[in-house]
Structure 1
Amino acid sequence: MTLYESLAQRFIDDIVSERLPIGSRLPALRQLAQQQSVSLTTAGKAYGYLEDRGWIYARPQAGYFVANRSEITEFPALSSHSLTPRDPSQFAPTQGYDSGLTGFAPLGTSLLSPALLPEADLTRTLKRVTRRASQSMFSYPESQGLSSLRQALSGHFREHHFSFNARELVITNSCLDSVRIALECLTQPDDAIAVCSPCFSGLLDLLTTLKRKIIEIPVTHEGIDLAALEKCFAKQKVSAALLSTTHLNPLGISLSTQQKQAIAALAYKYRMPIIEDDVYFELSHQKDKPLPAKYWDKDGYILWCSSISKVLAPGLRLGWCLPGRYFDQFYGHHSYTSMGVNSLVQACIAEFILSGDYHKHINKVRPILQSQVHQYRQFLTEHLPANAQISAPQGGLVLWLRVPGMDTNQLADEARKVGVDIRRGSCFSTHQDYNDCLRINCGWPLEQTVDGDSAQVQLKRLCKLISEC
């Protein structure tokens, strides 16, 4: 064991024995180095080791604190493993995102607070690109996407050990747009699609619009039910699968490397197209990002979809897809239905990546988001009933909560009356197994005030409603 690992282990022992309780502040790096007679480098490595393994978290300009590592082991899975296709238009409720919602509602929609976005850097980049590329606005954009943006994205992901050729990438208007194109060019109305359960409500809405049926594959804290997924493929019950694999919304978990490898293997074995929705890929709470299932797809059956919406600015509406062996179908359908993506936005994002500002932003926001999630979990642990369960995500923006026996449909209606927006569990399935669950967004700093209100105040209202139910 190295010196820094030995030092880290002492902290782990103190945390496990509760000599260091949850939320305790740890010594500053310089203080730790002096106390233990080690270098600042060794002290930093020890804290980095603890942070990467979820024992501690950093609060910007405040220091390091002991994290709540309680594991959730009993979140409900589907009680029925029936692989009968279901029509989401008849079973799934229309109670998800409400574009007409007014007022400050930080807990509902999964997004970062504007205060955490690089507004000044983006504005400078946009002005610089506009001066340089004004003529490009008077012609149609390249259907596949600007070469400079595809090259920039290829280089960016290569730094994270996920390599692909820029010629293989297609730029779209969002991750959801990529998913739509993939579904439209690979499946037909009334086809059944395998999806994760619980499944992001926006995907259920899209599948409803496209008149596709679904078969829900159970996902728990241990991962996806690979046996059920393979049974769907083997019996040809589905035409494709639409799966999230990293920081799943709403559970927050990431599938293990072994499961991602298995998904790629199943795609090849059954020649089954799998659409991988990976919109939270960049938002790992750890320094090292998990690789997508696409990384292990050597035969091109996985279509990898992502975007900048959750990381940078949802209003810019820019995403991409690696369609693999389905490139011609995907690119052709995209060309005929959208005529490309806004050239100015593409040029701006390419410049933002190549300048290093995108990488800098991600490195800055990652520890902030990690800290916020821990703060939300700690607040909820202190204010919710003792039987409440709270997910422990390693990335993404959301927490999945369960209060056994609670009707979160009624809770959501009551919450809206006091200005609190949440996502009820029934939004994420065509089944009734998640009716005592809810999802909240952690993308807003707890104490950030907007119009005299804050996320912390809204959490207090929500906890009060739960305790009164």
Structure 2
Amino acid sequence: MALYLNLAQRLIDDIQAQRLPEGSRLPALRTLAKQQAVSMTTATKAYDYLQESGWIYSRPQSGYFVSNRAQIVEFPTLSNQTLERRDPRRNAPQLGYNRPSEGFAPLGIAVLSPELLPAVPLQRTLKRVTQRNAQSLLQYSDFSGTTSVRNAIAQHFRDQHFPVHAYDLIVTHCCMSAVRLAVETLTQPGDTLAVSSPCFNGLLDLLSTLSRNIIEIPLTHQGLDLDALETCMKEGRIRAALLSTNHINPLGITLPNEQKQALAELANQYQIPIIEDDIYQDLGFQKHNPMPAKYWDKHGWILWCSSISKTLSPGMRLGWCLPGRFYQQCAEFHGRTNLGTSTLIQACVAEFFATGDYRQHLQTLRPKLQQQLGQYQQFLQQQLPSEARCSQPGGGLVLWLHVPGLDTDALQREALKDGIDIRSGRCFTTHNSYQDCLRINAGWALFDADQQPTQTHQQLTQLCELIRHKVAPKTDTG
């Protein structure tokens, strides 16, 4: 074993044995090199390996810290594994899969707070592009997107060693628009798609609206049940699959590369397309972004969809689809049903990417977001009953909670009375599963710049009080 791997493994052993607890600060690189009698190169490679594996994370000007990778939390899985075809319209919970929030609702919709978005750099970018290209911004763009924004998006991912050709992209209004384009191009009302379980509630709403049926494939911290998915493909039960692979909402896990490669191989073997919703790829906490399953797709059967809604600005409404072998069908359908995306927004995003502002924004955002999620996890651990479990995501915005014995449908209704928005476990399935689970967004800070509790902190405190009350042991008064 290489010297740096030996050093990394010793640190992993210390983390797993709690000799280095979560959140503890690690020695600086020079100190580590002296302590372990190794070169700076070896120390750096060891820390790089630990970051990429999710064991530690860095904070600018602060150093290296132990992450929560050591604790693997298991959650309830799909109780019904008969691969039954389900109509999401008939099984939606009382409040719907993804109902709109009202008022200040930081714990509901998965979104970053405005404080984490680069408002000032975006304003400067918008000013530059309007001064430079005012006349052209008044025109329609190509249905597939402007050349500049497709080039910028493609270059961004090529810099991450994910080869994307600009003219293979179709620009859409958001990731959900890209997913919808793929679903409507490939399937018809009444067709069945495989989805993971639990499944992002917005996708269930979309498929319900489009009158598509689903078969839920169990998802755990070990990954997706590929045997179940292959059974559906082999027996012709599905027309397509709609899956996420990186920082999957709501569990927060990322599929192993072996599973991503297997997905590409299954799609090609059975010639059944897979629509990949990869909206959180740029919000990973490791040094390098995980690759999508599309990276291993050599035959074009995966349609890869993403956007800037979770990273840059939900209000700018810009996403994209990389449809592979289905480019022509998707482009024609997109042209018939959509008059293109705002030329102004495309020009602004292209400029923001090309200048390096987007890359700089991500480099600043990721450690802040990881630290913020850590604060949520620590708070929940202190405030919730001891049997409660919280997810340990490697990226993304959301936390998945399991509180045994808690009726989260009732909790959601009670919380709404206090103006608190959450998503009960029933919002992520058509089965009677995850009834004691819930999802909260962690994209809003719990403390302000002066370390004073925010309104979000107040709502989370109220939510924890409701949970404690609902799972408190009943006193026998008989």
Q: What SS class does the counterpart of residue 171 from structure 1 fall into? A: strand
Identical columns (%): 57
Kept after mapping to 2: 8 A contact 1:72/1:390: no
State how far apart, in whole Å, the 2-side matches of 1:83 and 1:15 are. Answer: 39
Instruction: Quote the offset at 1:417 in angstroms.
Output: 2.6
State how far apart, in whole Å, the 2-side matches of 1:224 and 1:268 are. Answer: 18
Check if 1:340 corresponds to 2:340.
Answer: yes
Deviation track 1:66-100 (CA, whole Å, cap 9, x = no partner) reads 33334345311112122232111110224444435
Unaligned runs of 5+ in 2: 471-478
1:308 aligns with 308
Check if 1:99 corresponds to 2:100.
Answer: yes
Instruction: Quote the offset at 1:428 in angstroms.
Output: 0.6
Deviation track 1:406-434 (CA, whole Å, cap 9, x = no partner) reads 11111112222333221111101111111
Matches within 5 A, 1:1-400: 5=5, 7-28=7-28, 44-60=44-60, 62-93=62-93, 94-103=95-104, 105-400=105-400
Instruction: Quote the offset at 1:116 in angstroms.
Output: 1.3
Q: 1:101 to 1:62 in 2, by over 3 A?
A: farther
Q: What SS class does the counterpart of residue 283 from structure 2 fall into? A: coil
Instruction: Quote the offset at 1:33 in angstroms.
Output: 6.1
Q: 1:444 to 1:426 in 2, by over 3 A?
A: same
Kept after mapping to 1: 8 A contact 2:73/2:391: no
Write the letter of the residue equivalent to 2:415. A
2:475 aligns with none
State how far apart, in whole Å, the 1-side matches of 2:280 and 2:346 are. Answer: 20
Instruction: Quote the offset at 1:372 in angstroms.
Output: 1.9
2:417 aligns with 417
State how far apart, in whole Å, the 1-side matches of 2:382 and 2:134 are. Answer: 54
User: TM-score, normalising length from structure 1?
Assistant: 0.93
Kept after mapping to 1: 8 A contact 2:57/2:286: no
Deviation track 1:296-349 (CA, whole Å, cap 9, x = no partner) reads 111111111110111100100000011111111100111111111100100111
Number of aligned residues: 468
Deviation track 1:217-237 (CA, whole Å, cap 9, x = no partner) reads 111111111111111111211
State how far apart, in whole Å, the 2-side matches of 1:64 and 1:351 are. Answer: 33
State how far apart, in whole Å, the 1-side matches of 2:100 and 2:91 are. Answer: 22
State how far apart, in whole Å, the 1-side matches of 2:118 and 2:259 are. Answer: 35
Write the letter of the residue equivalent to 1:437. C
User: Which deviates further from its counterpart, 88-97 or 228-237?
Assistant: 88-97
User: Which deviates further from its counterpart, 459-468 or 255-264?
Assistant: 459-468
User: Which deviates further from its counterpart, 14-23 or 28-37?
Assistant: 28-37
Instruction: Quote the offset at 1:4 in angstroms.
Output: 5.2
Instruction: Quote the offset at 1:131 in angstroms.
Output: 1.1
State how far apart, in whole Å, the 1-side matches of 2:100 and 2:80 are. Answer: 33
Deviation track 1:186-245 (CA, whole Å, cap 9, x = no partner) reads 111111111111111111111111111111111111111111111111121111111111
Kept after mapping to 1: 8 A contact 2:101/2:108: no
Kept after mapping to 2: 8 A contact 1:309/1:317: yes
State how far apart, in whole Å, the 1-side matches of 2:29 and 2:420 are. Answer: 39
State how far apart, in whole Å, the 2-side matches of 1:9 and 1:257 are. Answer: 21
User: TM-score, normalising length from structure 2?
Assistant: 0.92
Q: CA RMSD in A?
A: 2.3
Kept after mapping to 2: 8 A contact 1:242/1:274: yes
Write the letter of the residue equivalent to 1:271. Q
Write the letter of the residue equivalent to 1:458. Q
Deviation track 1:264-304 (CA, whole Å, cap 9, x = no partner) reads 11111111111111111111110111111111111111111
Deviation track 1:9-34 (CA, whole Å, cap 9, x = no partner) reads 55434433333333333345566567
State how far apart, in whole Å, the 1-side matches of 2:163 and 2:343 are. Answer: 25
Write the letter of the residue equivalent to 1:91. N
State how far apart, in whole Å, the 2-side matches of 1:361 and 1:144 are. Answer: 26
User: Which deviates further from its counterpart, 303-312 or 16-25?
Assistant: 16-25
2:463 aligns with 462
User: Which deviates further from its counterpart, 130-139 or 421-430?
Assistant: 130-139
User: Which deviates further from its counterpart, 128-137 or 314-323?
Assistant: 128-137
Kept after mapping to 2: 8 A contact 1:70/1:392: no
User: Which deviates further from its counterpart, 195-204 or 61-70?
Assistant: 61-70
Instruction: Quote the offset at 1:149 in angstroms.
Output: 1.0
Unaligned runs of 5+ in 1: none
Kept after mapping to 1: 8 A contact 2:55/2:70: no
Write the letter of the residue equivalent to 1:441. N
Write the letter of the residue equivalent to 2:417. K
Kept after mapping to 1: 8 A contact 2:98/2:427: no
